[in-house]
Every structure is written in C-alpha cells, then in structure tokens.
Structure 1
C-alpha cells in the first residue's frame, strides 16, 4: 500500500470511528428515552438494563452506519481540499478517483460486512430483544408493580407503599382497584397490610397472595331510586390469592403482531416463509371464490342457445315478479336482499383478512430487500459524501454536518415513505425498499462527475453571466440615448 493510500485511509478510519461512536451513543440515548417507561422505577439491575440495550442496539446499525460514512466522507475530503492537499495531489498527476481508490475498496468490504451483519446478527438480536421484553416480568415479577404509585397490571391497578426482599416480592400497604367489565371506572377495591408475589419463570401467571385485608365492592341496584343510597359490600380476609395474567404485559408496540417475526429471519428463512405465505394466500383466494360461487346456487354454466323469435307484444314482456302474487313477491325480494347482505358481509370480512395477509407478505418482502439496501446505502453515502467534501472544501463539524443531516434526512424520509406505501400495497415492495436509493443515485453520479472535473457545487456563472450581459446592454443603451 502506498503512503498516500495509507494516509487517506487512516484519516478516514479515525474520522469514521469517532463519528460512529458519537452517533451510536446518540441513538442509544434515543432508545433509552423510548423505553424509559419500561426501565425506570422498576428495580432493574444494571446487568439487565445493559442486556436490554445490547439486544436493542444492533437494529440501530442500518441508521448509524450510512450516516457515519456520509459524514466521515464529507469531513475527510473536505479537510483535504481545505488544506490544499488535493491541489498538491492534482499537481502531481493524482486524480480524485485515484485518491478514492483505497477507500472504495474499504467501503465495498464494509458494505459486504454490513449485509452479513443485517442478515445474521440483527435477526438474532431482535429475537432475543423481543423475548427479553416478554420475559422480563417473569424474570423479575416485582417489575410489574412500582413502589408508591398505581401500576396498570392486566385488569388491576395496584399500588404498594413499600417493597422488600431479594426480588422485591414482599409487599407492604397494598391497594388494588379492579377495573370494571366495560373498562370504565372500578367498583372493587382491595386493601391489605402485606402481600407476596409468587411467580414461576415458565408460567405467564403472576400470583399475588394478600394477608390481613378488606374487600370492598360497590353494588349497582337495578332500580334507579335505590342507587342514591350507594350500597356496597365489605368483607375481611386473613389470606386472599389473586392470579394476574402477564401474557399481555410488555407486548411489542413498535409494529403490529403481523410484522413481529420478519425482523427475526435471515434471507434463506424469509425466502422459505414467503413461499409458504404466497401459497396460503393463493389458496385462500381460490377458497373464497369457490365459496361465493356456491352461494349463488348455480351448479354449472351452459352455453345459451340463440333463437330468433318474433317480437312480442308489450303485454308479453312483463318481468317475472309480475307473475307472482304480492305475498310471494315480497318474500322473493326479502330472500334476495338477505342473500345480497350476507354476500356483502362475507366479502367485506374476507377482504380485510386478505388485506392483512397481503400486508404480512409485503412486510416480509421489505425485510428481505432491506438487508441488501443497507449494503448499497454504504456505497451510496460514500459516493455522495466524498465528492461533496471535495467540492465544498470545508472540514470540521460545521458545514459537513449540515449537508450530512440534510442528505440523510432526505434518504430516511424517502425510505420511510416508500416502506409505508409498500406496506399498504400502494407500490411493489421492491420499489418501496429501493426508492430512496434510486432517487439519490443520480445525485451521487452528478457530484462525482462535478468533483472529478473540478466544477463547483453550483455553477454560478451559468446564472450570473446572462444577468451581467443584460445589465451591460441596458447601461450601454442608456448611455447611447443620453444627449451630449
């Protein structure tokens, strides 16, 4: 490796490492803020929180890595241009493409690593992350109940004054409000001096054992005049056991249940799953079509015979309903209307089910394509950032950050827009995944061309020259018309 290649590669790697660490830390803080409700005030130890963030952090790589490459490229080549190092290279006969050669090889290898990372590491981390969120209550049952405030746990709101024990399983001053059946208000209140949380790791049930308490329940009489008396039932107990279902706690809120699995699959697993999904989708369509056909009551279709008859009189062309009595006519119309409503209800219900299955298929296609998009995004951001840095000739953290943020926000916005549109079956999943790459690729080509040919970011002469000539003609014409 030549000295120049080593120098440029070393400078770029130092800048990339610094930028990557800073951006990665920022995105991790954003994750902490996103899950602060699940982490704060629930007696989690440092190791469990570290494991939580460790399993969440790999999904940040598709965002952090392209942005880091873009910013590092602009800063590196901007510094070289600002310090006239590019001028020295060009005077020695070294072109921009030659200066970028070592970095091209490195970015190409990095994009391959990014693909394997997205194909193997991210699915495994996503699987462990989702399972950790589901199992964290079973691992530490006291996490479900915070101290000194009401915690929403299934169909109960539970408050404890103090928790103790190795896992916070011993409770003091327990107050429980049981939610009403309609979800509005509560009619049952349970108070106990002490309580114990008992949970088996393989079970989704949390058992709350209460000691020395009272049970209160408001009674709503059927007669309205008796409701003003506000009757209630009170009972005391030495020991009471409440079973709480934890299966609905810590459910994943990032995506719908349909899309929870595709992020855990690699390319081969996604290909196999998509084949099964397409077969089931086609089978459901055929089954629905046959079901609608059977509803018509038509057993077979026969080719109608064409006969030429003499025109009938107007009195002979009456419709079939006119041959029936008023009672039979009403019954026929009611049956026809009922059949139509039944068919419409079946079609609407099946359409929703088919749309959900199509959305599931689209999400799996998007997950498949995005593993390749991240690799291409690394190359794309380099070929945008490197020539842009050479053009603007500014290094540091000022102007490069502005350009990097604007370009990456555009890339991320188009990517999100295309993904959402593809999920709703508005465009093919392939186009939804690659839309941002297709739109920004011409920009990379344009910037590379302009940087190679020593053309600025915007050729102001094209804009200013016609204006200057216009003013010159105007002043010349005015001087000619001025009397001497």
Structure 2
C-alpha cells in the first residue's frame, strides 16, 4: 500500500469515527433529556441505564452508519479538494480510478464490520433497547401492543389477542380457532392468557371452548385452565420487533417456519432479513457518490458539497423507507423493494463518477 493510500484511508476511517463520536453522544443527550423524569420516577438502577445506552449506541450507529459514512466522506474529500490535494494527486499521473482505491478499501472494512454487527451484535442490542423501553419508559397504556394481533400459526389454526404485554407474556381477549376442510371445528376464548416459561404452557382465565357438532355444539368453561398451544410468545409480539432481535441464523429459521405456517406478515420479516445484506452494500454506493460530488473544487466551497450531500442522503432514506413500507404492506416483493434504493443510487453513482473523471 502506497503512502497516498494510507493517507486517504486514514482520513476516511478517522473522519467516519469522529462523525460517530460526535453524533452518538448528541443522540444520547437528547434521549436522556426526554426520559430522565421517568427514569428517576421508576428508580431505575444506574447499571441498567448504562447497559441500555450501550444498546442504544449500537442500535442507532448501525441504523445510521451509511449516512454518517456518506457525510464524513464528503467532509474530508471536500477538504482535500479545497486544499488542491486532489489536483496534485491526479497531476502526478495517478488515474481517477486509482485514486478511488483507498476509498474502496475503507468502504470494504466498514461494510464487513457493519455486516458482522448486523448478523450478531445488533440483534442483541435491539432486544435490550426495546426491552428496556417496554419495561421502563412507556406508560401503562403503552406497555401492551396497541393494535389487534391476528396470526395464522398453522395451515388451519388461527389466534387473536386484542392486546399483548411483551414483558409479562400476557395477552388479553384471546381467541383460538381450529378449522378442518375450511370448517370451524372448535373455538377457544379467554379474557386473559399468560405464558409460563418454565412449563412452556399457557394459563387461560375465564376459559370457554365451543366444539362445533353436527346438530348441537358442546360447551366447556372454566375459571382457569392450563393448555399447550402450537405457538410461541414471539408470535404475539410486534412483527418487526421479533425480526430485529434475532441473529441471522435464527431469523432465517424463523422465516422458514413462518412461511410454512402461511404467516401473512412474512414480508415484514423478509425486509429485515434482506436489509442485513443491503445496508453494508450501500456503504460502497454512498462512498462513490460522496467522492464524485466532493472531489471537485466548487465556488461555494465545502458548504455546497455538504448541502448536496445532505439532499442525497435524505433522498436515500426516503427511498429506503418508502419501498420498505411498500413491501411490508403490499404484495411487492421484499427483495426487490430492499434493493431498489441501492440500484437507483448505484446508477447515480456511475453517472456522477463519469462526470467527475472528466
């Protein structure tokens, strides 16, 4: 590796690290200012708060790292251009493609690190982050899933709860329906259902069961009844929350299981799965765009480059959110939806680089 490669790579990784070290504390300060009253009110232990903010840092650093990387590349490349260092490098006989090599090396290192984090570290951080919020930071009216939860747990079995408390593993207004040949066989209702982690069984309060007969139905009721069902508590949690807390292997197995069940929320899980791969690739694309935008010396200086970069960054976020939501809420294929932003901005990167070379 030549001196010029080491110089640019050092600036690449150094500016990116400084960008993270600048913005993550700002995010933590804002979060603390919003939640400090509830933390004091609930007398949360300092050690628990510190663990929460470690998870908070990992969670949001992974979520926003392509944008931080993009802005940091624009920042230090603009500085190189304003100091005429890029002109000196290219005038020495180095081609523009050769000039890009240390940027590719830096993007590769950052992407591999982000990929490993997304596979193994981020799921654990996401679980800790969300668990803390559900347990300590949300009011009593928000500790349960606000929307109705309906799941198909097998080809002919369906469950429904009106509300679900993730922390206490308790659901309310529970219904279980068993079908055969598109006909209802029996239906179970309960005012409250609670999962016991030790016995792996569910306790139903105010239990009723109606078995459909040819001429007469059979009714069964009890104040309290313990049963075994073919579903896990995770089937009752918010779908994105479940997917975000799983490692890549567990998520793949979970998606395969849910696909066999015919789960209607399968697209939501697939969006999370594909984003684990598409997010690191976006580091390459955004790096190329940042270099192409900021490698030219402009009359407005670094401010113009940053303004252009911020517009491109927010456009990228807009595309990512729109197509991700589209895949979750419609029949649009999740793989295509997740990769469209990278494809569109990849074409933009090629176009901008061709102009920059001129």
| TM class by smaller structure | 0.5 to 0.7
CA contact (8 A) 1:62 1:374 kept: no
Deviation at 1:40, TM superposition (A): 5.2
CA contact (8 A) 2:70 2:290 kept: yes
1:108 corresponds to which residue? 108
Pick aligned residue for 2:238 from 257, 260, 267: 257
2:192 corresponds to which residue? none
Matches of 2:69 and 2:57, distance apart in 1: 18
Write the deviation string for residues 70-115 of structure 1: whole angstroms up to 9, x where unpaired: 1121122212222222222222111222122122112112211111
Aligned with 1:265: secondary structure? coil
RMSD (Å), alpha carbons: 3.0
Aligned with 1:93: secondary structure? coil
Write the deviation string for residues 127-179 of structure 1: whole angstroms up to 9, x where unpaired: 22333345559xxxxx98xxxxxx8799xxxxxxxxxxxxxxxxxxxxxxxxx
Which 10-residue stretch deviates more, 25-34 or 48-57?
A: 25-34
User: Is 1:28 aligned to residue 28 of structure 2?
Assistant: yes
Pick aligned residue for 1:267 from 244, 248, 251: 248
Q: TM-score, normalised to structure 1's length?
A: 0.50
Deviation at 1:426, TM superposition (A): 4.0
Aligned with 1:43: secondary structure? coil
CA contact (8 A) 1:389 1:395 kept: no
Q: How many pairs align? A: 268
CA contact (8 A) 1:79 1:393 kept: no
C-alpha change, 1:33 and 1:430, in structure 2 (3 Å) is farther
C-alpha change, 1:34 and 1:402, in structure 2 (3 Å) is farther
User: Is 1:118 aligned to residue 23 of structure 2?
Assistant: no
C-alpha change, 1:384 and 1:395, in structure 2 (3 Å) is farther
User: Is 1:431 aligned to residue 313 of structure 2?
Assistant: no
Query: What does residue range 265-344 of structure 1 map to in structure 2 within 5 Å?
Result: 265-281=246-262
Aligned with 1:398: secondary structure? helix
2:318 corresponds to which residue? 413
C-alpha change, 1:89 and 1:258, in structure 2 (3 Å) is closer
User: Is 1:53 aligned to residue 50 of structure 2?
Assistant: no
2:7 corresponds to which residue? 7
Deviation at 1:450, TM superposition (A): 1.0
Q: Which runs of 5+ in 1 are unaligned?
A: 138-142, 145-150, 155-201, 203-254, 282-356, 454-484
Q: Which runs of 5+ in 2 are unaligned?
A: 144-196, 198-235
Write the deviation string for residues 272-321 of structure 1: whole angstroms up to 9, x where unpaired: 1111111111xxxxxxxxxxxxxxxxxxxxxxxxxxxxxxxxxxxxxxxx
CA contact (8 A) 2:289 2:353 kept: yes
1:292 corresponds to which residue? none
2:79 corresponds to which residue? 79
1:389 corresponds to which residue? 294
Matches of 1:35 and 1:436, distance apart in 2: 34
Aligned with 2:94: secondary structure? coil
2:96 corresponds to which residue? 96
Deviation at 1:261, TM superposition (A): 0.9
Aligned with 1:261: secondary structure? helix
User: Is 1:374 aligned to residue 292 of structure 2?
Assistant: no
Aligned with 1:391: secondary structure? coil
C-alpha change, 1:370 and 1:395, in structure 2 (3 Å) is farther
Query: What does residue range 171-250 of structure 1 map to in structure 2 within 5 Å?
Result: none
C-alpha change, 1:388 and 1:430, in structure 2 (3 Å) is same
Deviation at 1:32, TM superposition (A): 3.8
CA contact (8 A) 1:115 1:372 kept: yes
CA contact (8 A) 2:274 2:338 kept: yes
Matches of 1:278 and 1:435, distance apart in 2: 24
Matches of 1:392 and 1:406, distance apart in 2: 19
C-alpha change, 1:99 and 1:39, in structure 2 (3 Å) is same
Deviation at 1:370, TM superposition (A): 0.7
Aligned with 1:94: secondary structure? coil
Write the deviation string for residues 332-368 of structure 1: whole angstroms up to 9, x where unpaired: xxxxxxxxxxxxxxxxxxxxxxxxx32x211110110
Aligned with 1:272: secondary structure? helix
Structure of greater Rg: 1
CA contact (8 A) 1:20 1:64 kept: no
Deviation at 1:66, TM superposition (A): 0.9
